Structure 1
Amino acid sequence: MVKSMTGFGRATSEEGAKRNFSIEVKSVNNRYLDINIRMPRTLISLEEKVRKVVTEKLNRGKVDIFINYKNYGESENSIKLDLNLADNYVETLKQLEDRYHLNNDLSLSLVAKFPDVIKLEEKEENLDDIWSEIEPIINKAIEKNIEMRIAEGEKLEADITVKCANMEEAIKVIEERSESIVEVYKNKLQTRIKDLLGNIEVDEGRIATEVAIFADKAAVDEEITRFYSHLSQMLNTLKLDEPVGRKMDFIVQEMNREANTIASKSTDIDITNIVINIKNTIEKIREQIQNIE
């Protein structure tokens, strides 16, 4: 099964819950699995658990996870007053007043604004309880992301399959034309020699040798056989129930290698043009594979 690396999934807490979580999982193509998690500071200690869940379900891609959290329950936070610190502030101000003979405009609002005299003390929540609520929501968001990956992967698989069929037909044409290339070369060679030497008798053995050398250099049988093999491997790989992107990328490289060799050996303009079209198709497949997990 081919999966794309592009996907999006979103899941939220059930309505009426004391704690409300909204989790989004976005992913795009990447060479490896790169996980970036954005979550409230109070939940930061749960990051490794989130990362583990993602790693168990996704293999490749740049994955961004956004966790939003709101607590609609009664606030358990409290206000803390540091009287010792307030005493120190007031005493310091009085020393400044006496030393520099300043007017004393000391007030309650002024003292209350000094750092840490009055501060909010947040009660730590039970992270185990929070995790028990977050985990199923994360799994649901990831599953939705995977559903989109699969849907996109099916489209890629169908398109690559069509492209492979087109290349197979093109290779068959090359195979048929390559069989006549040697005979065409032999006829051209004999005609050229006749034009140059007229009625002078030519050693047929020498011509046969030249033709044999040309046939050896122009032979593309092995390359064609390997190209058929790569096409078969590509189609079989598309059906595997595992990450196949890297394997397909390797197969495409081998296809391109065989196409280049066929082009370099060819003396037939039609075969050269066919190879150009094949290479263009290979490049299109290569671009698609970059988004396959």
Structure 2
Amino acid sequence: MLQSMTGFGQAIRLMNGYQIQVDIKTVNHRYREIKIKMPREWLALEEKLKSIIQKRIQRGRVEVFMTIEQQESHIEEQVEIDWQLADRYLQAADQLKTRYKLNDSLSLKDLMLIPDLVSLRKDLPDQDEVMNQFITDCLEEALHQLLEMRSKEGSHLRNDLIKRVQVMEKLHTQIQSMALRAVEQMREKLFQRIQEVLSDKQLDESRLTMEVALLAERANIDEELTRLLSHFEQCYTLFNQVEPVGRKLDFLIQEMNREVNTIGSKSNFTEITNKVVDLKAELEKIREQVQNIQ
């Protein structure tokens, strides 16, 4: 079945006091483009996550946003002391005391005022296999939601496209019936005009009939109508395919548009010209919808 290129999925999971959230969205794109935004500490996992996405999505721009946060009730902040910085300050203090013969000594209060000597650090989860798998599972869950949404949207697109092709089939039938009359009328008018122009001259009836037939044949649109009907059948076949068909449908629309343009250029019959305009309008609507199909 058809799949839309537009969708969204989200997964939130808790593990050992950490909340992992993955948001994934896709939009139209001619090719496949994947961008993942995640904490720097976990960038080593990026290629694996991309590989998972590539197996499930063939076309579209994919954006993944991943956050890993410690819940307030589980936050454990570690106090860190920069011992090297403390040593340098104490050495500098000893040098000052010696140089200027000072008796004062640094107190704990003085040391605590030194910038960046003492800092708080929030613990991040260890990057072990269990945590990696947990993040991967979270992505899979968000991806599953995304694909479900793309499938539902694809189903709506399929129904709309079927209706539009059916409208084109009706227009095709109408043009086909008009074409028979149009060719006959053209033949009669040409024959009549030539006779009027050459009324006072000798006419080779067989030659005249042949020339009129050739002119009428140039205006014949049977081949274009036959190919257009074949394209409609191909559309229905593609609408039921499991694999991505967006590019095939796009090409098929170009072919149909070519046939419709040829019909319009060949026919001087006003009623057919009006129907050609209607066909083009439906084709444009189909083309817009197909741009969103994987």
Range of TM-score over shorter length: 0.7 to 0.9
Distance across 2 between alignment mates of 1:286 and 1:191: 43
Match of 1:9 in 2: 9
Task: Extract unaligned runs of 5+ from structure 2.
Answer: none
Q: Which runs of 5+ in 1 are unaligned?
A: none
Structure 1 residues 40, 267: closer, same or farther in 2, change over 3 A?
same
Q: Tell me if the contact between 1:259 and 1:278 (Cα under 8 Å) persists in the aligned partners.
A: yes
Greater shift after overlay, 107-116 or 234-243?
Answer: 107-116
Q: Which residue in 2 is equivalent to 1:223?
A: 224
Asked if the contact 2:191/2:209 (under 8 Å) is kept, the reply is no
Aligned: 1:55 with 2:54: yes
Q: Quick one: which amino acid aligns to residue 182 of structure 1?
A: V
How far is the alpha carbon of 1:180 from its aligned partner? 2.2
Structure 1 residue 146: deviation in Å?
0.8
Shifted more, 37-46 versus 238-247: the winner is: 37-46
Cα distance in 2, alignment partners of residues 41 and 81 from structure 1: 24
Superposed counterparts of 1:1-293, under 5 Å: 1-13=1-13, 17-72=16-71, 78-89=78-89, 91=91, 112=112, 117-119=117-119, 125-196=126-197, 202-293=203-294
Q: Residue 191 of structure 2 contacts residue 212 of structure 2 at CA under 8 Å; is this kept in 1?
A: no
- Give yes or no for contact 1:2–1:153 (8 Å, CA) kept in 2: yes
Q: How far apart are 1:189 and its partner, in Å?
A: 2.4
One-letter amino acid of the structure 2 residue matched with residue 128 of structure 1? E
Aligned length: 287
Change (3 A) 1:165 1:90: same
Pair 75,237 (structure 1): closer, same or farther in 2 beyond 3 Å: same
Letter in 2 for 1:138: L
Give the distance between the partners of 1:146 and 1:35, measured in 2 at CA: 15
Structure 2 distance, partners of 1:208, 1:110, is 116
Give the C-alpha shift of residue 228 in structure 1. 0.7
Q: Secondary structure at the residue paired with 2:174?
A: helix
Structure 1 vs Structure 2: percent identity of aligned residues? 38
Provide, for residues 125-163 of structure 1, a one-character-per-residue CA deviation record: whole Å limited to 9, x for no partner: 133121121222211111111111111111110110011
Amino acid at match of 1:22: Q
Deviates more, 1:146-155 or 1:194-203: 194-203
Bigger shift: 184-193 or 146-155? 184-193
Code of the aligned partner of 2:33? D
How far apart, CA to CA, are the structure 2 residues paired with 1:46 and 1:115? 35
Q: 1:204 corresponds to which letter in structure 2?
A: E
**Structure 2 length as normaliser, TM-score?**
0.86
Q: Deviations over 1:38-68 (max 9, x none)?
A: 2222222211121111111111111111212
Give the Cα separation in 2 of the matches to 1:207 and 1:109.
Answer: 117
Partner letter of residue 33 of structure 1?
Answer: R
8 A Cα contact 1:182 1:214, kept in partner? no
- Alpha-carbon spacing, 1:94–1:238, altered in 2? closer, same or farther (3 Å): same
The alpha-carbon deviation at position 117 of structure 1 amounts to 3.5
